[in-house]
Structure 1
Amino acid sequence: VVRQDCVSSEFLAEDHLEAVGHTCSLQDASGYENPSEIANLISAEKFEAALAIHLYKGGRLLQGSRIPFGIIFGGTDINEDVKHEEKHRVMGAVLEEARFAVAFTEKMKELAAAEWVCLYDYYRIPQDTENLRLFLLICGLRRVKDPLYLVDVFSEWHRREPHIHLVIIGPAVSWGFFLLVLIYVYSHRFILEIPQDDLHAAVKRCFAVVNSSVSEGMSAAILEAMDLDVPVLARNIPGNAAIIQHKVTGLLFTDPQEFVQLSKSLMNDLTLEREIVTKAKAYVKKHHSWDCEREAYQNLKSVGSTVK
């Protein structure tokens, strides 16, 4: 059980979480009889998130928890506890509440998915429907990319309009922060990593690509989205503003509320969407095409040369 935006486990606390500034509290599940005891502990200590090892031994104590939590499968829960009807039922109920589940091997993941239907298709992007709106955020999971910046407003928006989805795709750069992201992306979808071809296919299927970074040099995800004829909504920071002209080649937002406002205006204005996509494609072709960049690099003659 943890506080201050962190999660903990016997082996993750020191190496991954406390190392990046979180405060963790380890609790032995055998010392507690029922969820109400853990609920009292959470309330008294003001814990903000939790991570349980073993789906039954630890997970059952977090049922009905008022804080987000995740589960790490052990061996006993998958290999032995599933054979007992009541334990199987409890573990399934825990998985329905958990924000994420971690399996250490592909085999363990397959065994778990075979037992509990709720684990199927969790990481797949929702299939196309007439009203579906997918917003895709592509980034390495580290604080400078700030992938949680829009989660609260997206959660509220998703509750009001269930066809709105946020999908986050990216590798875990910092494992402590990665676990934090898994806990808080509870109304949306998260995909750790996918091949580039699949990523481009996902971009083409989404409504817009989102960038919420605190700092950027030049976002490859933004340029690729522009090249793939997909609108971009990006946080208004110098790196993004350098390649996006607001309401011309993309949309720049200064806070989460403005993001929602701009997104709705884009969804309701097909003319604006087409103009942005067309001008963004032309911008990439003119300033960032492979041919132009290859020629520019080939023509570099000295350290003092500059390329525009």
Structure 2
Amino acid sequence: MKVLLVTPNFHQPRGNTVTVQRIADGLKKSDVQTDIISITEENLVKTLPKAEVVHGFHAYHFYKFLEKLDTKPASYIITLTGTDLNHHLFDEKTREDVIFCLRNAKAIHVFNQEAKHILLKELPEVKHKTAIIPQGTTEIPDKSLQQPKEDDTFLFVLAAGIRKVKNIPFAIESLRSLYEKNSKVRLWLVGPILEEAEGEVVKELLQANKKWVCYLGKVPHKKMGVIYTQADCVLNTSHSEGQPASILEAMSSCLPVLVSNNQGNRSIVSHRETGFIYTTSNQFLDYAEQILNNIELRQTIGENAKQYIAENHSSEKEAKQLIQIYQNTWK
């Protein structure tokens, strides 16, 4: 079996890129041949390579890509991303294209029950072909220390492309008051600038907080192991999410996580069991301070998180469930 994995901007270190590469690696271990097609504004692909299965990631961008092909695939499946569910499905400019794409898909893959609920509330007729498969995780082997943190500091890490939905200024502005109380606090931002306007906002905040905030820029995924090795807590402050790979990987690395209250984060983090979920800025600061000051709490939460990921988010299980969908759809 050969599977085409079609995803936006595969060349950029985004969450979807990590997801697609992990799925491709998992499928290859099961002797499934894969080919990754990157959808970009400059992509001039007019004809898809021959394959038994076409698997698109991100319904809106996949649909716009299909429109430009000389020959459309006879069938395809779709993995819904956080942007699909939280934005494009409800934006009047994109909603019609998303719905058309989903109605014509052979199968639809979502990451969790809440995502399925959101989808079926808008499009109940696709219930029969919608499957829940949680994201897997894989170990990141490269843990060589190339960016050592300062001695006797407490390191928060936020890994995300810089765009408005990721709410990165909130992390800087909120942690600043904690830094003013405890000079050990440090924050590393990891990820490329994906929206120039938001990048300028973040750059100004970086300049104003350069004593304790460090921007590492774009870091190859294979190098993220060294980041997790040094982190004390990993953040996600996004307004919306699908199922963030950085949080899955942090939890797998036995780290406490502090995340915003959105459906993607709620699907993997249980409050005070495998991490902390905040709704207000006061809650964010309260939980951040608890994590900072209580080593026993950090260890317990981290161990619970690692066990949860091992039991519920294996890449091998993810690949097997996808293969089952492929076989059922194209038998």
Give TM-score scaled by structure 1 length.
Answer: 0.55
Does the 8 A contact of 1:125 with 1:167 survive in 2?
Answer: no
Q: CA deviation at 1:303?
A: 4.4
Alignment match of 2:328 (pick from 298, 302, 305): 302
Asked which structure has the greater CA Rg, the reply is: 1
Distance (Å, rounded) in 1 between the aligned partners of 2:219 and 2:258 = 22
Q: Alpha-carbon deviation of 1:167?
A: 1.2
Which ranges of structure 2 fall in alignment gaps of 5 or more residues?
1-145
Q: What is the CA-CA distance between 1:163 and the residue it aligns to?
A: 1.2
Identity %: 26
1:212-268 CA-to-partner distances (Å, cap 9, x unmatched) read 000001000000101111111001112111110001111111122211211221233
Shift of 1:140: 0.8
Q: Equivalents in 2 of 1:295, 1:133: separation in Å?
A: 39
Aligned positions of 1:83-98 closer than 5 A: none
Structure 1: which 5+ residue stretches go unaligned? 1-123
RMSD: 2.1
Question: Which residues in structure 2 correspond to 1:148-297 (within 5 Å)?
Answer: 148-185=169-206, 186-187=208-209, 188-297=213-322
Residue 249 of structure 1: SS of its match in structure 2? coil
- Residue-by-residue CA offset, 1:159-190 (whole Å, 9 max, x unaligned): 33221011111111112211221111231111
Quickly say closer, same or farther: Cα 1:268–1:155, change in 2 above 3 A. Answer: closer
> What's the CA shift for 1:278?
1.4
Aligned residue for 2:301, secondary structure, equals helix
**Matched pairs, number:** 181
How far, CA to CA, are the matches of 1:269 and 1:160 in structure 2? 16
- Equivalent residue letter for 1:228: S
Which structure is richer in relative contact order (CA contacts within 8 A, separation 6 or more)?
A: 2
Contact 1:125 1:189 in 2 (8 A): no
Structure 1's 179 and 248: CA in aligned 2 closer, same or farther, altered over 3 A?
same
- The DSSP-based 3-state class of the residue aligned with 1:148 is helix
Comparing 211-220 and 161-170, the one that deviates more: 161-170
Q: CA–CA distance in 2 between the matches of 1:268 and 1:166?
A: 16
Describe the superposition over 1:59-107 as per-residue Cα deviations: whole angstroms up to 9, x where unpaired.
xxxxxxxxxxxxxxxxxxxxxxxxxxxxxxxxxxxxxxxxxxxxxxxxx
Structure 2 matches for 1:34-183, cutoff 5 A?
127-130=149-152, 132-183=153-204
Contact 1:150/1:256 (8 A) holds in 2: no
Listed one character per residue, the Cα deviations across residues 260-308 of structure 1 (whole Å, up to 9, x for unaligned) are 211221233333222211111111112211111122122223349xxxx
Is the Cα contact below 8 Å between 2:178 and 2:289 reproduced in 1?
Answer: no
Partner AA of 1:129 in structure 2: D
Contact kept? 1:204, 1:230, Cα under 8 Å = no
Task: Please state whether the residue corresponding to 2:258 is helix, strand or coil.
Answer: strand
Separation in structure 1 between the aligned mates of residue 148 and residue 282 of structure 2, nearest angstrom: 25
SS at match of 2:286: helix
Output the amino acid matched with 1:137: L
Q: Contact between 2:149 and 2:155, CA under 8 Å: does it hold in 1?
A: no
State the AA in 1 paired with 2:328: S
**Does the CA contact (< 8 Å) of 2:189 and 2:214 recur in 1?**
yes
* Cα distance in 1 for residues equivalent to 2:279 and 2:243: 18
In structure 1, distance between residues paired with 2:179 and 2:255: 21
Given residue 245 of structure 2, which amino acid in structure 1 is its aligned partner?
Answer: A
Q: Give the TM-score, by structure 2 length.
A: 0.51
Q: Is the 8 A contact 2:148 2:230 kept in 1?
A: no
Letter in structure 1 aligned against 2:246: A
